Structure formats: structure tokens, C-alpha cells
Structure 1
Amino acid sequence: MTTKKVTLTDVAERAGVSTTTASYILNGRSAEMRISADAERRVREAVAHLGYRPNRNARSLRTRTTSTFGVISDFVASGHFASQMLAGASAAARASEHLLVIGETQGDPALEHLLIEEMLDRQVDGIVYATLTSLEVRVPAELKRLRTVLLNCVDPTTNIPAVLPDEYAGGRTAAGVLLDAGVTGEIHVIGEDPTPNALAGPGRLEGIRARLAEAGRSVTSVVPCHWGVEDAYDAVDAWLRRGARPAGLLCLNDRIAMGTYQALAGNGLHVPRDVSVVSFDGSELATWLRPRVVSVALPFNELGARAVQALVDPGWADVGTVRLPMPLAPGGSVRSPAVGARG
């Protein structure tokens, strides 16, 4: 037995209005067409009672929109940070009555091309091109002809709007924490960014150097290590065993901070009594360290939301590059000025 599909005509007949009036109401044009609130109520009730679902393909032909945005990313659909970014994007999409269609390339250019073709076939209203790590990228040629916003990345060869964290300002914030705490001894940076075309590490380091220079200070040294716990532990442990005695450490991410904590403890140094530590990312890991590390956080939820809001913006093409502030997540890893500082 087959069930007869409910049509717009059925809805109109039950509501006691014309098919045209029902169509205007369901397409959000009640006010424009001066349709009464009572008629709109009857149509909505008829839709609910009959279980009517509009034909999306027909609606797309009329409105030339699909009420969908595409998200094409490298590895952004995986992990805690990625979920925050997508949550922000999804909330902003829902607020504009859109849904997200998400595709993950896993860093494969061939798969990226297929995903772009799929988005084009779906006739999405716009595309968010996202990366998990803040990067300088070269956008695929197909996207340059579409309504596209870059998320957590930027293409300096194009004018495509981009939304990413203000890593430079974040670096200034981190250095300022140590200066405000009265740290007068050596300040070192722990970590280097091994990712090709990375923006995070260089931006943070540039901001750190600039803020210290304003105070007549400088980075004493940069201890190189990859952005992982074990690499950081090995590098900092070896450095301390060679006789280093820092007053303040700026770790370029929270995983580096964790390895640094372990190396400091293994060498008889206490955080923050002996060494003050500031980190970056504001990840869950930062909250697990004891004492909790002061961390300059990445605003992933807001990044995702702002990227979608830029797509919706009628002045989309003029949005430019938007750099969002990185808020400071408090902790107990920096000694209070009242205690005094090593110098």
C-alpha cells in the first residue's frame, strides 16, 4: 500500500487559502505580501497536521539558493578543537537557516578536488575552506569563483575573506603576563613550529619579541622542539642539565607546557616558585596541569561562527581578513608580583 504524497495544494485547501498564498507563507514572505497572521497560523497548522515537506529542488529553482553551506577542511572534522570550530559554524548556519555539508580531505589533494566538485554539484550557497592549524595556503582555483571564506588560514595571493586568530596579539599577551608579574630574570621561548607555511608559531614569537622590546627586554633564547609532550620534555630536560636557570618560560602550546612541567620537576624546579610558565591554545590539557598553566586560548567556537557569518554577510566580498582576539585563560603557573621575582 502506498501513501499519497502531501502537496502544497492539500495544505492550501485545508487552510482555506490559495496555493499562491500558502507558498508565500512557507517561503517567509508573509509580511512582504501582507498576509494576515490568522492565515499564516492556519497554513502552519495544516503543514503540521498533514506532515507536508516542501520540495527542496523546486524551491532551489525558485530562490536560486539551497540553504546549505559547504565546509571543506584538511583534518578539521577530528579532535576537540575541530569540534569547537564546527559547533560555532553550525550554530551560525542554523541562525541563518542553513545547514552545513562537511567534507574532510585528510590532506589529500585528489580527495579535496572531489569534495569541491561534490559541493558544486550540490549547488551550496557558499563554502568555508578550513584548516586545523593556522596556515598560509593556496586556495584551489575552483573556489576563487565561488562565495568562499577561509577559516583559520589565509591566501595572500587572493582577496578571499579570511577569519583566523590574532597570533601576534596573542604573543604580546603572553609576554605581558610575565612582565606584569615582575619577572626580571631570563625569559625563554620553548618550541618551534614544524608545519610548512605555519602562522601560529611565527606569529606568536613575533608578538612576544615586540612586547618584550617595548619593556626594554628580549627573548634570551628559543629552545627548539616539536609541539609534543615527549619532544618538549627531552629538549627542556637536556637544556636544564646544561645549566640553564630560566625565570620565565613561554611555551608555544599546551603540550609543550606539559613536557616542560615534567622536565622542570625532574630537575628540582617548582612552578611557579622557581619558574613562571605561560602557554598557548587554552586546551583541556592546560586545565589538567598542576598548577593549571596560564594559557592564551584559541577562540575556535567564535572562529567557526564568524566564518559562516561572513558568508551570510551581503558585503561578503569586502570582509577582508578578520583576526580574532585570543583570550587569556587564567591559572596558577605565574608567580604573583607580591612574592617577588627571580632576577
Structure 2
Amino acid sequence: MPKRRVTLAQVAEEAGVSSTTASFVLSGRTDMRISVDAQRRVREAADRLRYRPNLTARGLRTNVTHTLGLVSDTIATSQFTGEIIQGAVDEATAHQRMLFVGETQGNLDLESRLIQELLDRQVDGFVYAVMGPRPCAPPDLLRTRPTVLLQCIADSFDVPNVMPDDVGAGREAALALMAAGHREGVYAVGAHHRSERLPEGIPAGRARMRGVEEVLDEYGVRLAGTFQCRWEPAESYEAVSSLLDSGIRPRALICANDRVAMGAYQALQGRGLRIPEDTSVVSFDDSDLAVWLRPALSSVDLPYYEMGRLAVRLLVDPDRKAGVHQVPMRMVARDSVAPPAGRTDPAATRSGGRA
């Protein structure tokens, strides 16, 4: 037979105090005058008996269960964003919280049921996360609960919202090329990718291109061209191949993500162009592909782990501030960027703008 759970009354009896005294000691209450000796006896008795508090019962009394819920569309099962979950779990553990993770695959009925079940378990708050920064509509059930959004653009929710700094990422990518001395023949591949579903383009792509253009303006440089394509290797291979087939040899490519860069690599190398001697390439995401491509790809990281940690840190903070909380993105420099052919001293080529 399973061993019966040790009760608070048994701890009190072992320590020679009342159940009320034992409860105050073990819950950390300091507003009662309990002698140091009595506190010691209660804690020693709890250790001897291996007492574990009934958190469900405590939650019913205090409305605090030390549990949190993370609800996402596809983040938990994505091969790219799993570090969000790891960061959230680590931060919850650091604050002595348990994190329940649920995924909806975009099914709104499932989402409602999942949130209601977490509410039935009296979680103290929610992280509501989506795959990639995009407009979304969190369920109304969350309006009256402590909630932090993660990559969810929802102006009607006056709560903290954790986002990657995609504008800063675009600046990092452009600055890497400017520092190498590139002033002409710079093309963007993928950019913000307009489609029927996203007629204005992918929000992350739009923000990154805004950062790119800010830096280019500071240096008095213009993009030589922009090629729209889906953020997949086959699509970018076709886009870059069409550019090369027209007789143009780009000096540098800014790719929308590492998968786009992979297709660009194949197109360039398939036509005998060397990276970075003939064409420099920068990208975004800093995924495993960036390390495995040859030469290794310079890519701006997506700080998924830090985003997960920040979302939970904000959620457990009673003084959390509403509004956007951006997580910086940094360039991870590798081997895919070099000065343009025939130019070896980038510092000597700077004309206006930043120095």
C-alpha cells in the first residue's frame, strides 16, 4: 500500500506545538510571536517526518499556488523556438514556481479549453506566446488574470509584451557590412516577404529592414535591390540565381534568415563565386545552420532563451510594467563577411555617416 501523506497535525504533535503554530512556522509567517526554540522544533519535526505541504489546499486558502501557465500555438514543438520553453522553465524554477506548458496548434477551441483547465488548477498567471512576432488576439479569459504576452502584437491588451529587437537586429546586420567597407552592390533577399496571408509582409522582416535602412542612410548607402521570396532555401536559391543569371554579381547579401542564406550559398557557389571573397553574406536567427554552412555564416541571433526567462520574470514581478519589453539581438560574426574585392582598409572608405 502507498505510504500515507504526513499531515500538519502530525508535525505539530511531534514538535509539541499547536497546528496553528506549526502552520505559521512552515509557511514563513513572521507576524506571530513564536519562540526561536518552537520554530526550531517544528522545522526539525518536519524534516524527520519528511513533511510536504499540501499545495492544493494552501492554494485554496491563499489564492496563490506557485504555478504558472505557458500557452502557445506551436512554440513547444518547433525545432527553432524550443529555447523559449527552456528559458521560461529555468526562470520559473529560480522563483520556486512550477510551469505548465500547453500547445494549441492554433486551434481556438483547444486554446479555450486549455486555458480554462489551467484556471481550474488556479495557476497564478499566464505567458501567452506565439511563433514569431505577429498580430494576434489573446482570449478574453486572460484579461482578468496576470498575463505576459510573448511575440504577440495585441494593442488592446495593456500588459507586458516581450519582443525581440528586430530593428536592432537589422542595424547589426547592416553595420557588419558597413564595417567591412561595403558601399555598393548590397542586396536584400527575402526581406519582409509579402503574401496573401501577410500582404504587408512578415512583421519581423519589416522591422529588420527598417533597421538595415537606418544604418545605410547613416552611411549614405542605398540597397542595390530587394528580392522577395518565402523564407525557405529553395525559394532563395531561385531568387539569387535569377539575379546572377541577369549578369549581376552582388557584393553583399542580407538574407532574411539562415534558411534563406543556405539557398543563397548554393546559388553563389554553384556559379563559382566565393564567400566571402566575391560576395559577403549576413543573416538572422543564428540557428544550427549558421555553424554548419561553409564558410560559417555571420548571423544575428534570436535570443529565444532570454525571451522565455524575461516573460516569466515579468509575470512573477508584482510591479511588472505594461508595454513592450525588447530583448537585444547581437551579431555572431563568423567567416562569411570580408571587405569588397580590391578593398582592404574599410576605415579609409567611410564617407560621412558613422565612423
Normalising by the smaller structure, the TM-score range is over 0.9
Aligned 1:93-104 pairs, distance under 5 A:
93-104=92-103
Question: How many Å apart are 1:35 and its aligned residue?
Answer: 5.1
Give the partner amino acid of 2:344.
V
For the residue of structure 2 that corresponds to 1:103, the secondary structure is: strand
Query: Which of these residues, 317, 335, 340, is aligned with residue 338 of structure 2?
Result: 335
Q: Which residue of the partner structure matches residue 110 of structure 1?
A: 109
Equivalent residues of 1:136, 1:198 under 8 A apart:
no
Question: How many Å apart are 1:120 and its aligned residue?
Answer: 1.8
Aligned 1:137-216 pairs, distance under 5 A:
137-191=136-190, 192-193=192-193, 196=198, 198-216=202-220
Distance 1:244 1:34, change over 3 A: farther
Q: Which residue of the partner structure matches residue 352 of structure 2?
A: none
Q: Which residue of the partner structure matches residue 28 of structure 1?
A: 28
Task: State which drifts further: 6-15 or 19-28.
Answer: 19-28
For the residue of structure 1 that corresponds to 2:212, the secondary structure is: helix
Give the partner amino acid of 1:106.
Q
Question: How many Å apart are 1:142 and its aligned residue?
Answer: 1.6
Equivalent residues of 2:71, 2:126 under 8 A apart:
yes
Q: Report Cα offsets for 1:269-291 as digits up to 9, x if no partner.
A: 11100011110011111111111
Equivalent residues of 1:186, 1:248 under 8 A apart:
yes
Give the partner amino acid of 2:23.
S
Equivalent residues of 1:152, 1:163 under 8 A apart:
yes
Question: What TM-score do you get using the length of structure 2 for normalisation?
Answer: 0.89
Equivalent residues of 2:75, 2:81 under 8 A apart:
yes
Equivalent residues of 1:297, 1:327 under 8 A apart:
yes
Question: What TM-score do you get using the length of structure 1 for normalisation?
Answer: 0.92
Question: How many Å apart are 1:314 and its aligned residue?
Answer: 1.4
Taking the aligned partners of 1:162 and 1:285, their CA distance within structure 2 comes to 29
For the residue of structure 2 that corresponds to 1:102, the secondary structure is: strand
Taking the aligned partners of 2:224 and 2:268, their CA distance within structure 1 comes to 18
Q: Which residue of the partner structure matches residue 321 of structure 1?
A: 324
Taking the aligned partners of 1:98 and 1:10, their CA distance within structure 2 comes to 27
Task: State which drifts further: 203-212 or 17-26.
Answer: 17-26
Q: Report Cα offsets for 1:135-160 as digits up to 9, x if no partner.
A: 12122222122211101222123322
Q: Report Cα offsets for 1:140-181 as digits up to 9, x if no partner.
A: 222122211101222123322100101011101111110111
For the residue of structure 1 that corresponds to 2:77, the secondary structure is: coil
Q: Which residue of the partner structure matches residue 46 of structure 1?
A: 45
Question: How many Å apart are 1:74 and its aligned residue?
Answer: 0.5
For the residue of structure 2 that corresponds to 1:81, the secondary structure is: coil
Distance 1:204 1:45, change over 3 A: same
Equivalent residues of 2:11, 2:45 under 8 A apart:
yes
Question: How many Å apart are 1:247 and its aligned residue?
Answer: 0.8
Distance 1:228 1:23, change over 3 A: same
Aligned 1:1-343 pairs, distance under 5 A:
3-29=3-29, 31-33=30-32, 39-191=38-190, 192-193=192-193, 196=198, 198-316=202-320, 318-336=321-339, 339=344
Task: State which drifts further: 114-123 or 260-269.
Answer: 114-123
Distance 1:264 1:115, change over 3 A: same
Equivalent residues of 2:189, 2:228 under 8 A apart:
yes
CA RMSD of aligned residues (A): 2.2
Question: How many Å apart are 1:41 and its aligned residue?
Answer: 4.8
Structure 1 residues without counterparts, runs of 5 or longer: none
| Over 6 Å off, 4+ runs | none
Question: How many Å apart are 1:12 and its aligned residue?
Answer: 2.0
Question: How many Å apart are 1:40 and its aligned residue?
Answer: 4.5
Q: Report Cα offsets for 1:84-119 as digits up to 9, x if no partner.
A: 111111111112221111110101111111112112
Task: State which drifts further: 128-137 or 49-58.
Answer: 49-58
Equivalent residues of 1:152, 1:303 under 8 A apart:
no
Taking the aligned partners of 1:277 and 1:228, their CA distance within structure 2 comes to 16
Distance 1:53 1:175, change over 3 A: same
For the residue of structure 1 that corresponds to 2:42, the secondary structure is: helix
Taking the aligned partners of 1:53 and 1:67, their CA distance within structure 2 comes to 15
Taking the aligned partners of 1:138 and 1:239, their CA distance within structure 2 comes to 39
For the residue of structure 2 that corresponds to 1:295, the secondary structure is: strand
Distance 1:38 1:242, change over 3 A: farther
